[in-house]
Amino acid sequence: MADAEINETPRASRSKKPHVAREVSGTLPVFDIQGLSIVYRSGAKDTKAVTNVDLALMPGEIVGLVGESGSGKSTLAYGACRLLRPPAIITKGNVMYRGRRVREEGMSVLDQSRSELREIRWREIAIVFQSAMNALNPVLKVEDQLFDVMDAHLSLSRTEKRERAESLLDLVGIARDRLKSYPFELSGGMRQRIMIAMALAVDPEVVIMDEPTTALDVVVQREILSQIVELKDRMGFSVLFITHDLSLLLEVANRIVVMYAGHIVEVGTAEQIHREPAHPYTRGLLNSFPSLHGPRRELAGIPGTPPDLSQLPPGCPFMPRCTFATEKCQEVDMKLSPVDASKDAVHTTACPFVKPEDHVAQVNVRTRAAK
C-alpha cells in the first residue's frame, strides 16, 4: 500500500517535454511566485534581499535558481514557503500553490494561518536543506526521523510506516538496514540521500532543493543528481533547484533562473542560457568555471564583488561590475523582457541593451581567442 502510493502517482500533465511557459502548455504552474519582495529590516535600514521576483514552477519541471551567495536565492525560496522570521519581512507579492490535493483555483501560501501552513509544509512543499550534517537530528535514528514526518501528515500503523520507510530507502539507493543507523554513522552522500528520502516521505508536489550537493565530491554529486532526475520522472513532483554552480544546472534543469542582488536578471531554457546568454552577468558566470571537456578556454570570471544590498544604486545592480555599462544603465527598471521577441517568450532578460547579435559576436570572439 505504501509502495503503491510512493511509486505510482499519476499526474495528468506528465510528459517527457518540460512545460516551458503557461501559454504554451495550457496548464497552470504548480508553484507560482508573483512579484515577491523580501527585506531584512534593521532599524530604519532595509536590506533588499529579494525584489519583485516572478518565478513559476510547472508540474514535473526542474527549475534551476542560480546566483552568488548573498544574491537572495535562498531567501526567495524560504520566503515563498513562509519559513522566514523577522527581521525578514515580505513586503509585496503573492505565492500561489496549486497541487492535486488542494482546490482547483489554488491557494495563496501567504494568506494561510499557522495551522493551515502546517498542513502544506512537507505534505505539499518539501525542502532538502543545504547541509545534511546539520539538518538531521544527530541523536535520532534515521527511521525515527522518517516516522516523524509520516506521523505529522499521515495516519499509518507502525508496520505501514516501516514498509514505507523501507521503500523510501530503496528509492534513494540505501540498504534497508540503515534505518537503524544514526546520522553520524553515514557518509555525506548517504546523509544527503536520507534528506531526499525524507523530503519525499509524504509524496509532496514541490521539492525545493537548496544546494543539495555542494559539500559532496563530483562522483557522489553526479549519482545524486541522476537519482533526483529519475525520481522526479517516476513520481512526478516539481523541483526548484538552488545552487551557485551554473555548470551543474545546465545539465540538470529544464529552465534556469539567474539571480543577482535580489533581482532576476535572466530566465531561459538550459540550452538558451548556455548557447545564447543575454545578460552580462550570466555570461560572466558561464565564463567562471574551468571546463574539463573541449579546448582550454581563457577564463574571464567576474571582476569585483556583489553589491551591498542595503544601499543599492539606482538602476541595474550589476552595473559596477559590468563591462558593457553606460550611463543609461542607471535608468534600467530591471523588468524582464524577451531576448528575441520573434521566437518565444521563454528567454527573457533584465538587460535592455545587449542585443542577441552582439552576444553571438561575443561568443565568436571568445572561441577565436581560445584558439
Partner 1 sequence: MTEQTKTSESAVGDVVLEAVSISRDYYLGRGRSGPVLSAVRDVSLSLYRRGVVAIVGESGSGKSTVARMLAGQETLTSGEVRLDGKVVHLKHRRAFRAYKREVQMVFQDPFASLNSVHTVRHHLERPIKIHRGIQGKQAIEEEMYRLLTLVSMTPPELFLPKYPHELSGGQRQRVAIARAIAASPRVLLADEPISMLDVSIRLDILRLLSDLRETLELAMLYITHDIASARYVADEILVMYAGEIVERGPAEEVTQSPAHPYTQLLVSSAPNPDALGSSLKTGTKIVPGQAGSALSSIVGCRFSPRCPFADEQCRTTRPPIVPTNDGRLVACWHLEQAAPSSVALTTKPRTTRAKKVLEKPD
Q: Which residues bind partner 1 (CB under 8 A)?
A: 68-69, 173, 187-189, 216-223, 225-227, 229-230, 233, 244-248, 250-252, 270-271, 274, 284-286, 288-294, 296, 299-302, 305-306
Report residue 48: phi and psi, to 5°: -85, 95
DSSP state of 29: P
Task: Name the 3-class secondary structure at 139.
Answer: coil
Q: How far apart are CB 16 and partner 1 at their closest, in Å?
A: 9
Nearest to 169 by CA among 138, 204, 151, 145: 145
* Distance of alpha carbon 206 from alpha carbon 301, whole angstroms: 33
* Pick 150 or 231: Cβ nearer partner 1: 231
* Pick 188 or 352: Cβ nearer partner 1: 188
Q: How far apart are CB 113 and partner 1 at their closest, in Å?
A: 38
* Pick 51 or 254: Cβ nearer partner 1: 254
Q: How far apart are CB 115 and partner 1 at their closest, in Å?
A: 38
Q: How far apart are CB 301 and partner 1 at their closest, in Å?
A: 4
DSSP string, 299-352: P----S-PPPTTSPPSS-TTGGG-TT--GGGGG-----EES-TTT-SSSEES-S
DSSP string, 235-252: H--EEEEEES-HHHHHHH
DSSP state of 53: E
CA distances from 339 to 75, 125, 180, 314 (A): 27, 32, 53, 23
Residues 213 and 221: beta-carbon distance below 8 Å: yes
* Pick 106 or 173: Cβ nearer partner 1: 173
Q: How far apart are CB 220 and partner 1 at their closest, in Å?
A: 7
Q: How far apart are CB 249 and partner 1 at their closest, in Å?
A: 9
* Pick 246 or 336: Cβ nearer partner 1: 246
Cell digits for 181?
543507523
Helix (H) or strand (E) holding 167: helix 158-171
* Pick 179 or 252: Cβ nearer partner 1: 252
Q: How far apart are CB 343 and partner 1 at their closest, in Å?
A: 18
* Pick 100 or 274: Cβ nearer partner 1: 274
